[in-house]
Amino acid sequence: MAHDNHDDLSKHVKTYMKIGGWLIFFTFVTVGLSFVELPTHGDNLLVGMALAAFKATLVGLIFMHLNHERSLIYKVLLFTLVFVVGLFVLIYLSGQNPLHFGGFEGVTPGH
């Protein structure tokens, strides 16, 4: 890792403070935007979650050093991410049943 150099580290410390500032700024933005009534509440949710995801990415990349980590850790996280998304999406869809069987051509179910 590049952190063995002290000058480098002091530079990093400044970055950390700057990122902290940005995070606080985006917190204000998130709160403000939640009071703006977008066309649907779903849009508000989308914007709010996008901002949160952006903030989380900043924390992950800068504070948790994921911007320069070993490939092994990326692999582990990638799989975890895939499974979490699977958990979200599949559970959500199983409650929605997004597709319906429309019957064979010319035959309407129930007749």
Partner 1 sequence: MEIPYTRTNRPDTGLFNAKIGIWLFLASEVMLFGGLFSSYIFLRVGADYHWPVHELTLWPGFVNTIVLIVSSVTVVMAWANLKMRKIAQYKLCMWVTIICAGVFMCLKAYEYNGKFHHIGVKLTDGTILTGHFPEEGYRVKLKGGSTVTLNLQTADPAYFLKWCVTPNPQFKTEAGQPQPLDQQGALMAFIDALVPGDHDSSSLGQLRRDAAAKDQKSVKLTATAPLEFAVKESKTFSHTATSITFRDGTVVEGASVEDKMTLQVDKVDVRSSLDEDKALAWHYLGDEWKKAFEEHSKEEAESHKKFDPRDERYLRHVKQMEIHAPTVAEHNTQHGGKHSAEAHAPGEEHAAGGHAAHYPEIVIDRKDVAFWSSFTPKWNTYYAIYFTLTGLHGMHVVAGALVLFYFLVFDGRRLKEDPEHLANRVEVGGLFWHFVDLVWIFLFPLLYLL
Partner 2 sequence: MSAATATLDHHGAHAHDHSHDHHELGFWRKYIFSTDHKVIGIQYGLSGMVFLLFGFFLMMVMRWTIAYPGEAMPGMMMLTHLPLVGEFFTGWVERWAPGGVVSPALYNMFGAMHGTIMVFFGIVPLGFAAFGNFVMPLQIGTVDMAFPRLNMMSFWFFFISGVIMFGSFLLPTGAVQTGWTMYSPLADTDQMGVKNVWMHGHTWWLLAMVFNISASLLGSVNFITTAINLRAKGLTWFRVPFFTWAMMVTSFLLLLAFPPLEVAALLQLADRVFDASFYLPTGLVDGGKHIDISGGGNPLLYQHLFWFLAHPEVYVLILPAFAIISDVLPCNARRPLWGHKLMIYAALTLAFLSFIVWAHHMYLTGMGTMMSTFFQITTVLISVPSVILLTCLMITLWGGSIRYNTQMLFATAFLPMFGIGGLTGLPLAFTFLDLFLHDTYYVIGHFHYVVAPGTIFALFAGVYHWYPKITGRCMNDFLGKLHFWPSLLFMNVIFGPMLYQGMIGFHRRWYDGGKYFEQVTSGHLWTNEVISFGAWGLALSQVPFILNVFISIKGGKKVTSDNPWGATTIEWAAPNIPPHGNFVTEPVAYRGPYEYSVPGAKSDFTPQFEADAGTPASQAAVAQAHH
* Residue ranges binding partner 1 (CB under 8 A): 3, 6, 9-10, 12-13, 16-17, 19-20, 23-24, 27, 30-31, 34-35, 37, 41, 44-45, 48-49, 51-52, 55-56, 59-60, 63-64, 70, 72-73, 76-77, 79-81, 83-84, 87-88, 91-92, 95-96
Distance between CA atoms of residues 107 and 99, nearest Å = 18
Distance between CA atoms of residues 89 and 66, nearest Å = 25
Q: Which helix (H) or strand (E) holds 58?
A: helix 41-58
How many CA atoms within 13 Å lie on the side-chain side of 47?
18
Given 16, 25, 63, 79, the residue binding partner 2 (CB under 8 A): 79
Those residues whose C-beta lies under 8 Å from the C-beta of residue 9, and which sit 6 or more positions away, are 3
* Stretch touching partner 2 by CB under 8 A, among 9-17, 20-28, 61-69, 72-80: 72-80
Residues of this chain that bind partner 2 (CB under 8 A): 72, 79-80, 83, 86-87, 90-91, 93-101
